[in-house]
Amino acid sequence: MTKESGLGVSVTVDDHTGSGKDISNDVISLEISTPRSIQDITGMDKSAMERLLLLADAHFVLNGAFNPAANLSHDVFKRISTTSVARVVVLVVSSQTLTATLLFEDYALTRAVSGELTWVATGRLANGTAPTWS
Q: What is the rounded distance in angstroms from the CA atom of residue 123 to the CA atom of residue 96?
A: 20
pTM: 0.88
Q: Which residues contact 40 (CB under 8 A, 6 or more apart)?
A: 49, 50, 51
Q: What is the CATH number of the domain that holds 29?
A: 2.40.10
pLDDT digits (tens, 9 = 90+) for 66-125: 999 999 999 999 999 999 999 999 999 988 999 999 999 999 999 999 999 999 999 999
How many domains does one find in the chain? 1
Supply the Cα-derived Rg of the chain in whole angstroms.
Answer: 18
Q: Which domain holds residue 58?
A: 10-36+53-125
Q: What is the rounded distance in angstroms from the CA atom of residue 132 to the CA atom of residue 19?
A: 21
